[in-house]
């Protein structure tokens, strides 16, 4: 079974530029998450999708971050404009759902490492 | 906001030694998970504990969930170099927020041959 795919693996940009990350979850997983992991910290949830609807985006800095999952499968996370403090690994995860709720067993991709100069 | 504190943050031991990592919170969680993350990869789920006082064993790893479901521990017996990595605990609030995990800051374990 293929795992969660993310791209690009690495991205270096200058502050105020924009960047987009792509995620393809495990086939059949209705729930998709984007997490931000700053060096030396645990992952922090940015946004959670159930199919193509947003379940939780309370910790997403909406003035610069946006995410979509238009057809309920792939997802993109965009940052515009980027700040120095956005340097982090952006992890995508997916999980199977029962009765419309995530089972809570998350499968993570390898992450996209962003460096903002 | 639910917070999870892990200790120690860094652990450097020799092969064959035993170790314990702690995960503590003032909040109650419906379940708690432990993940292991290697450099350049995403976290991989090791175990989920859901009942207060529950103990689960996975080969040389023993996981315990506190009676009050506010804390957890991971004990590794006879550590091996292959155990090296970042260990993360993560708590779930339950209900419709299941899957909205709060992660600890992690414990970096290095096992020297």
CB contact under 8 A, A93 and B104: no
Signed CA dihedral, A33, A38, A42, A44: sign only: negative
Instruction: Tell me whether B2 touches chain A (CB under 8 Å).
Output: no
The string of pLDDT tens digits covering residues B61-89 is: 999 999 999 999 999 999 999 999 999 99
* Exposure class string for A37-74: b at 16+ Cβ within 10 A, else e: beeeebbbbbbbbbeeeebbbeebeeeebbbebeeebe
pLDDT in single tens digits along all 117 residues of chain A: 689 999 999 999 999 999 999 999 999 898 999 999 999 889 999 999 998 899 899 999 999 999 999 888 999 999 999 999 999 999 999 998 766 666 678 999 999 999 999
B-chain residues near A42 (CB < 8 A): 4, 88, 90, 103-106
pLDDT of A2: 81
Question: How many C-beta atoms surround the C-beta of residue B11 within 10 A?
Answer: 18
CB pairs under 8 A between A and B: 62
């Amino acid at each position: 079974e293929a795992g969660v795919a993310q791209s690009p693996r690495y991205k270096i940009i200058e502050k105020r530029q924009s960047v987009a990350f792509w995620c393809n979850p495990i086939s059949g997983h209705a729930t998709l998450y984007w997490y931000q992991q700053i060096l030396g910290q645990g992952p922090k949830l940015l946004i959670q999708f159930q199919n193509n609807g947003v379940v939780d985006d309370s910790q997403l800095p909406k003035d610069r971050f946006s995410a979509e999952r238009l057809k309920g499968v792939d997802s993109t996370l965009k940052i515009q404009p980027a700040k120095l403090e956005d340097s982090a690994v952006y992890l995508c995860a997916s999980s199977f759902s029962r009765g419309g709720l995530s089972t809570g067993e998350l499968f993570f991709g390898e992450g996209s490492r962003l460096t903002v100069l | 906001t639910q917070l999870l504190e892990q200790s120690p943050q860094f652990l450097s031991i020799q092969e064959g030694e035993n170790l314990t990592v702690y995960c503590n919170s003032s909040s109650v969680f419906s379940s708690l998970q432990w993940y292991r993350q290697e450099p350049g990869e995403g976290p991989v789920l090791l175990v989920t504990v859901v009942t207060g006082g529950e103990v689960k064993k996975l080969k040389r790893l023993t996981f315990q969930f506190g009676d009050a479901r506010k804390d957890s521990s991971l004990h590794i017996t006879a550590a091996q170099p292959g155990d090296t990595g970042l260990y993360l605990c993560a708590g779930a609030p339950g209900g419709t927020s299941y899957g909205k995990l709060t992660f600890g800051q992690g414990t970096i374990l290095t096992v020297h041959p």
